[in-house]
Amino acid sequence: MTPELGIGWIPSSSPTIDRLRNIVPPGAVVVPCADDVELLVAVSSGRVALTVVEAGGGSNAAALLALRRLREGFPKHPVIAWCDVRAIESHELLEIARAGVQDLIRHDLDELRHVFARIVASATQRAISYRILEELGDVVPHRLHPLLSYVLEHSDEHLDRNGVAAVFGLSRRTLQNRLTDARLPPLRPFLTWCRLLVAAALLEEPGHTLDSVAAQLDFYDGANLAVTLRRYTGANITRLRARGAFTESMRAFREVVDSIPAHEASLPQSSSTD
């Protein structure tokens, strides 16, 4: 059975928690927390993978304290603010934004269930992107971190090589040459590797299945994702899960990078890799 995705909620005394319980995505469970101490324990133990704080009015002080404590102890933990924009004061909203909330949910929105599911997926993916960026700090040179960060955070899209290069004001060939100089895979497989590393990390997150990850990252289906993972990592999905999908995928990526000869950085690029 796939573990449930724990969504922390603070403050637990708010009646709004009942509405949240009605819109969480399948495979998720709301974990009410009375205060910041209880929330930090839940995050530390792994019971909570994402937190929703109710902002505004009498809840704002508790929300701000929880946000600040989370940023101190778990700076990459995804946090969403839930508020009534018609009732919250502008200074309260500004305080919440400055405290490090990643997204804002307006509880008066139509199709709230769909909006919440999208925001949860986005917040989780962003946190995973930070994790991968840190993991690859010794492999990807600092000058290419903006590229890596951009590709990871947009891994739910089919990125076009020319489009990615244009984001950074470069031609595709120039961007390819920079990857080659850094002894990294050519641009097309580099983009796929980033997408697969995000997929592998998501597979280890509670509440995610092969099909749900495939849908989130815009693969055709779970089978297509499994085939792509096997082609790049050399391991089938059963082996990946048994050994840790993220760990195995990261190991495979590092092996690919290590296999690239240093002298290739000085060779001219063929049209097949630009």
pLDDT, tens digit (0-9, with 9 covering 90-100), for 88-137: 788 888 888 888 887 888 766 557 778 788 877 887 888 889 889 999 99
Give the E-state strand segments of 46-175 in sequence order.
50-54, 79-83, 103-106
Mean pLDDT of 150-154: 93
pLDDT for the residue numbered 195? 95
Highest mean pLDDT among 71-75, 110-114, 161-165 belongs to 161-165
Order the strands of the 50-54 sheet from edge to edge: 28-32, 5-10, 50-54, 79-83, 103-106
Using the predicted structure, report yes or no on whether residue 229 has a pLDDT greater than 60.
yes
> By percentage, how much of the chain surpasses pLDDT 70?
92
Query: What are the residue ranges of CATH 3.40.50.2300 in the chain?
Result: 5-126
CB pairs under 8 A, 24+ apart, for 87-93? Answer: 87/56, 87/57, 88/55, 88/56, 88/57, 88/60, 89/56, 92/55, 92/56, 92/57, 92/60, 93/55, 93/56
Span(s) in the chain for CATH 1.10.10.60: 136-266
pLDDT for 268 beyond 50: no
Least confident of 35-39, 76-80, 213-217: 76-80
Token pair of 253 as six digits: 């990526």
- Residue 107 corresponds to which tokens in the numbers above? 């509880």
Long-range residue pairs from 104-108, CB within 8 A, at least 24 positions apart, any chain? 104/80, 105/52, 105/80, 105/81, 107/16, 107/19, 107/82, 107/83, 108/84
Better-predicted residue by pLDDT, 84 or 140: 140
Confidence of residue 3 (pLDDT cuts 50, 70, 90): low
CATH class of 136-266: mainly alpha
Is the domain covering 5-126 a CATH 3.30.300.20 domain? no
Q: What is the mean pLDDT of residues 211-235?
A: 93
Residue 5 confidence (pLDDT): 77
Query: Which tens digit of pLDDT belongs to each residue from 245-256?
Result: 999 999 999 999
pLDDT digits (tens, 9 = 90+) for 29-53: 899 998 889 999 999 988 888 899 8
Which pLDDT value is given to residue 41?
Answer: 93
What's the mean pLDDT in 235-259? 93
For the cut 50, the answer to whether the pLDDT of residue 271 exceeds it is no
Predicted confidence at residue 109, as pLDDT, reads 57
- Using pLDDT thresholds of 50, 70 and 90, give the confidence band for residue 274: very low
Average pLDDT, the chain: 85
For residue 31, what are the β-bridge partners? Answer: 8
